[in-house]
Every structure is written in structure tokens, then in C-alpha cells.
Structure 1
Amino acid sequence: MKDRDSAVFNTIQQMPNLRSGLADSLIAQIESGDLKPGQRLPTEQAIMEATGVSRTIVREALATLRAKGLIITRQGLGAFVSNDPKPRSFQIIPNDLESIDEVLRVLELRLGIEYEAAGLAAQRRTPEDIARMQDRLDALDRATEGGGYGAEEDFAFHRAILVATQNSYYSRLFDTFGTAMVPRQWARLDRITASERDRHVARMRREHHAIFNAIRDGNEAAARKALRNHLSKSAARFEELRDASSPH
């Protein structure tokens, strides 16, 4: 591999998340124009030799770039930068969330979006919005009471709040991310005792109902406060999981 190409990858080995580090480096090179539209990427073997990562890591990083529409693959020829990689939609795909730190960043993003949306929903909700949120909340309660994680139902409830803002950009943004905005793969609910799970489910239920009640009652301040409380407590739980799993 040419020295210039090697420089693309020279920080990967120091990064804790190898696949994300490799993908981020490639994305940065594409966005800066160092990797130009139509340009062929180095081979998998060349990337492995330059970075010291496994073939699996390389393939997962390239798959991330394909999912984002930044590269295309041609049978027998390799991977190439897309001819028109910009503009593209910002995405969060589930495979991006490889660490609890990344989950916390998603929750931070959600708080910035949903805090304001909760207040707008309290101001603007219609009877149809209230009925929709109630339906989604009931479905979430049934899913968790039945022993499930309720990720899809949780997403649907929060999306119903965004719809109630009467600003379609909120729900369209959420749809771009999909259920990755509710990253349950790191919740570790399968590793806790039955009593711990019951307490967790009860807390989540109280928090969701507090958000709904405030929006239904048109209480803008309470809606924002309840939403912040809910996502902040979720973040605190993930921080505890991260700290518990960190080597001492």
C-alpha cells in the first residue's frame, strides 16, 4: 500500500472500537475528498496489513459504509467510493452501537430532540394524538408485562410524542434512526434477577406514564421535566453498566 494510503489508517490501532475507528477514518477521507468519487478503496488484505485488524473488522467497517451509501462494491473488482456520496442522510444503524459510550451519545442526542418535542406536544396535541399515545403506551405496558423488552413499542410511543408536535420533521428524523434510538442490546435485562427486572419495568412504566399525563394535560413544563427525567435515568443506568463492566 502506498504511504499516502497507509496514512488513512494510522490511528486505527489506538482506538478502543476498531470497526468504528476504521469506518470513521474512511468516512473522514471521503468527506474531505482524499478518497474521491469513483476511487477504488485498498483491498481488504491491504487494510488488514495497514491497521492490524482482522478481516471480520474490515468487512464490518465496509458494510457500515455501504449502508450509509458511501461506497459500492463491484463483483471481482472491490469497493469504490460512490460517485455521488454527498449529500446523504445521517443514520444511526444498530451495528454502530458497539459500546455503552455510544449508547450514551445516542441518549444525549435523544434528550436534545425529545426535550423540546415534549413541550411542543403538550402545547399542540390533538384528541387524536392523545388517543394514539395512549394506544402506544398500552401496547408498551403489555409487552413489558409479558416479559418482553418492548423496544418496538417503546419506539412507537416516543414517536407518537414527536407526531404530536405537529412538526413532521421531528418524526421524520426519528424514522431515519429507527429502533436504534431505543438501544436495548446493551440493557442487559436478561442478566438481572426477576425482582430487579420487575423494579426496572415498574420504573419505566411510571416514567412513561408521567410523560404521557403531562402532555395529555397540556402541561408544557411538566412534560419537558418528565421527559428529561426519563432519559437521564436511562443514561444513569447505562453508566452503571459501563462502570460495572470496566476492568479495575
Structure 2
Amino acid sequence: MTRVPASPLPPTLSRTAQVADWFAREIRSGRFASGEKLPTEQELIGQFNVSRTVIREAMASLRSEGLVVSRQGSGVFVADHETNTTFRIVSDEVRSLTEVLNVLQLRLAVESEAAGIAAEKRTDEDLAQMRRCLDVIDASIAAGGTAIESDFAFHRAISSATGNPYFERFMHFLGPVIIPRQSIRPKSETPDQRRHYLEQVQMEHRRIYQAIERRNVEAARFTLREHLEASRERYRGMFDHPSAR
């Protein structure tokens, strides 16, 4: 049975990640049943209009998540949903200050190293993608938005610039819920306060970008760490203030 993606694939992911993400969502939602055989490689190439390499790498990604299994001579099948689970942070898990700080600590451990590698290995296209993300954040701030998706896209662009697909996949698996303001926000926050907060965050983003652009490995690690540590302090400050509870 030929399936067509229900919605356009997000432009900020590599084609491999886009295909893998679509299948992961379809499998987790139950639209692909346990044991169901996936379309053939040739059918998927035509369906997604991508190369054979993209399809093979996407299937490898799904196998690493435990979502599909390959049977020699038979094809690729959906794994048993009940026995295969993967690590993922979901929005319902990030509702308190402690949980937000734990997620930021996890990000510190991974993203600071990713920034250093990105500074060493980034390409001109990687830089262009980061600039596009920064421009979208600027536009969101100007429009009074929260810039959650574009903020996450910027951090994901850094992980992609490492040249190591596991960094990008790790960020993709975590999802935009790792941006703290998606989960908790002071009830008394005014539009001016939000704008000031986002402008500070964006200033930190630009310092990270500049270090990566200069190929300064240590500065990239430092500015990324400084950014996430500043985020921890901002959220601690919010919750120390009674009106933020």
C-alpha cells in the first residue's frame, strides 16, 4: 500500500531525518501496525523523491530506535510497539523548575561539545542555515512571538554542523520541548518582559554563531555553555520570585 505524507516535511532537517521522522510518527501513532511490512526501497524512493542512500540511512535510523526490523530476503517490518521503546522527553514531563533544570543539564553535556565540533567542521551552508534560523527568531521577537520552533531549529542546525548524524538525531529525538519557555512561563509575564528575555537569548545565540563562524572551537564550547547556564539562572530567578509561581 502506497502512503503519502500527511503534511509537508520540515525544511530544517536533513532529508534522511525528515523521512525517518515521518515514519517514526506514523509508527508511534499506530498508523503502521506492529509486524506490517513497509513499502519497498524503490517505492519509497519514488514516494519521497529522494535517493537510495537517504532511504537506507532513514531505515538504519529507525532500526537504531527499535521501530523497525529487517528480515533478510523479506524486507523491512514494523517492530512490536509494546516491546520497543525509545528515550524521548515529552511535554508532560517538563512541568516544574527541577525538570527544566535537569533538561538544561543534559543539554549542557551534549550541546557544548557539539558546538565545538561544529566550529571545527561547519560548512558555508551550515552557517547559512544558522543565519536563517537567527533571522526567523528576530522576526518572531518583532512580532511578539515566543520563537520556540526557530530557537530549537538554531540549536539543531548546530548539531547538524558537526557532521555527525547522531548529534542531529539526538536533538531531533528530544524535540522542541527542550526549549524551557515552551513548558513553563511566569503567569505575570508582560509583552515587554518577554521581548527583553528573548532579546537576551538572541544576543547569546549570535555569540555562539560568531564563534562557530570563526572556527574558534573553545569559544564555541564556552559561548554555548554560557548560554545554557544563563538559561538556568534565568529560570531559577523566575521561580524565586513569588509572582512567577
TM bucket by the smaller chain?
Answer: 0.5 to 0.7
Q: TM-score, normalised by structure 1?
A: 0.62
- Output the CA distance in 1 between the equivalents of 2:117 and 2:206: 17
User: Could you say which residue in structure 2 is the equivalent of 1:203?
Assistant: 200
SS of the equivalent of 2:98 reads helix
User: Could you say which residue in structure 1 is the equivalent of 2:176?
Assistant: 179
Instruction: Give 4+ residue runs of structure 1 displaced > 4 Å after superposition.
Output: 83-87
- Output the CA distance in 1 between the equivalents of 2:234 and 2:96: 14
User: Could you say which residue in structure 1 is the equivalent of 2:137?
Assistant: 140
- Output the CA distance in 2 between the equivalents of 1:122 and 1:185: 28
User: Could you say which residue in structure 1 is the equivalent of 2:52?
Assistant: none
Q: CA deviation at 1:241?
A: 2.1
SS of the equivalent of 2:146 reads coil
Q: Does 1:236 align with 2:216?
A: no
For residues 3-59 of structure 1, what are the alpha-carbon distances to aligned partners after superposition, in whole Å with 9 as ceiling and x for unaligned?
Answer: xxxxxxxxxxxxxxxxxxxxxxxxxxxxxxxxxxxxxxxxxxxxxxxxxxxxxxxxx
User: Could you say which residue in structure 2 is the equivalent of 1:100?
Assistant: 97
> Aligned runs of 1:1-248 on 2, under 5 Å?
85-188=82-185, 191-245=188-242
Q: TM-score, normalised by structure 2?
A: 0.63
- Output the CA distance in 1 between the equivalents of 2:137 and 2:238: 24
RMSD of aligned alpha carbons: 2.3
SS of the equivalent of 2:212 reads helix
State the AA in 1 paired with 2:147.
Answer: G
Q: How many residues align?
A: 166
Is 1:94–1:183's contact at 8 Å kept on the other side of the alignment?
A: no
For residues 99-131 of structure 1, what are the alpha-carbon distances to aligned partners after superposition, in whole Å with 9 as ceiling and x for unaligned?
Answer: 111011001101111000000000000111011
Structure 2: unaligned runs, 5 residues or longer: 1-65, 67-79
- Output the CA distance in 2 between the equivalents of 1:84 and 1:195: 46
- Output the CA distance in 1 between the equivalents of 2:137 and 2:163: 23
SS of the equivalent of 2:241 reads helix
Aligned residues: percent identity? 41
- Output the CA distance in 1 between the equivalents of 2:228 and 2:240: 18
Is 2:136–2:150's contact at 8 Å kept on the other side of the alignment?
A: yes
